[in-house]
A and B are shown apart, each in its own frame.
Chain A
Amino acid sequence: MAFFEEFSRELIKGIGKENPTIRLVIGMCPPLAISTSVLNGIGMGLAVIFVLLGSNIIISLLRRYIPSKIRLPIFIGIISTFVTITDLCIEAYFPILHKSLGIFIPLIVVNCIILARAESFASKNPVVLSIADGIGMGIGFSLALILISAVRESLGQGTFAGYSILGEKFDPALVMVMAPGAFFVVGAIIAIFNYMEMKKRWKS
Chain B
Amino acid sequence: MRDITEERKLLMTLPPHLSTGETIHCLMFDVVIASVPIILASFYYFGPRALWVIFLSSFAAVLTEVIIQVGRIKPLTLKNFVYKVVTDERVTVFDGSALVTGILLGFNLPPGVPFWIPIVGSVIAITFGKHFFGGLGNNIFNPALFARAFLMVAWPHHMTSWVLPIDWSKLLTQPFTPWSYDAVSTATPLSVAKIKTVEYPIVDLFLGKVGGCIGETSALAILIGALYLLYKGTITWHIPIPFLFTVGLVAWILGKNPLFHLFSGGLFLGAFFMATDIVTSPVTRLGRILFGIGCGLLTILIRIYGSYPEGVCFSILIMNACTPLIDRYTLRRRL
Contact = CB atoms under 8 A, between A and B. Distances in A.
Interface of A: 171, 173-176, 178, 180, 184, 187-188, 191, 195, 198, 202-203
A96 to B, nearest CB: 28
Contacts of A178: 153
A202 B74 contact: yes
Interface of B: 71, 74-75, 114, 128, 132, 150, 153-156, 158
B155 A191 contact: no
Nearest to A190: B132
B128 A174 contact: no
Contact of B150 (A175, A187, A188): A175
A173 B128 CA distance: 16
Which secondary structure characterizes the binding site on chain B? helix
B154 A191 contact: no
Contacts of A187: 128, 132
Nearest to A179: B153
A191 B71 CA distance: 13
A178 B154 CA distance: 9
B155 A171 contact: yes
B75 A202 contact: yes
A188 B71 CA distance: 15
Which secondary structure characterizes the binding site on chain A? helix
Contact of B154 (A173, A188, A195, A198): A173
A203 B132 contact: no
B117 to A, nearest CB: 9
Contact of A184 (B74, B128, B156): B128
B156 A174 contact: yes
Contact of A175 (B75, B114, B154): B154
Given A184-B128, A188-B128, A191-B132, A174 B153 contact: yes
A171 B132 CA distance: 25
15 contacts: A171-B155, A173-B154, A173-B155, A174-B155, A175-B150, A175-B154, A178-B153, A180-B150, A180-B153, A187-B128, A187-B132, A191-B132, A195-B71, A202-B74, A202-B75
A104 B71 CA distance: 39
B147 to A, nearest CB: 12
Nearest to B114: A171
B153 A175 contact: yes
A198 to B, nearest CB: 8
Contacts of A202: 74-75
Contact of A176 (B71, B74, B154): B154
Contacts of B154: 173-176
Nearest to B127: A188
Contacts of A173: 154-155
Given A175-B150, A175-B154, A187-B132, 17 more contacts: A171-B155, A171-B158, A173-B154, A174-B154, A174-B156, A175-B153, A176-B154, A178-B153, A180-B150, A180-B153, A184-B128, A187-B128, A188-B128, A188-B132, A195-B71, A202-B75, A203-B75
A30 B259 CA distance: 48
B3 to A, nearest CB: 46
Nearest to B152: A175
Contacts of A176: 154
Contacts of B75: 202-203
Of residues A175, A176, A187, A195, which shows the largest number of chain B Cβ atoms within 10 Å of its Cβ? A175
Contacts of B150: 175, 180
> Which A-B residue pairs are the 5 nearest by beta carbons?
A173-B154, A175-B154, A175-B153, A202-B74, A202-B75
A187 B114 CA distance: 28
B132 to A, nearest CB: 6
Nearest to A198: B74
A165 B75 CA distance: 36
A183 B128 CA distance: 11
B148 to A, nearest CB: 12
A126 to B, nearest CB: 42
Nearest to B153: A175
Nearest to B120: A173
A45 to B, nearest CB: 27
Nearest to A156: B154
A171 B155 CA distance: 8
A173 B117 CA distance: 11
B165 to A, nearest CB: 26
A193 to B, nearest CB: 13
Contacts of B153: 174-175, 178, 180
A151 to B, nearest CB: 14
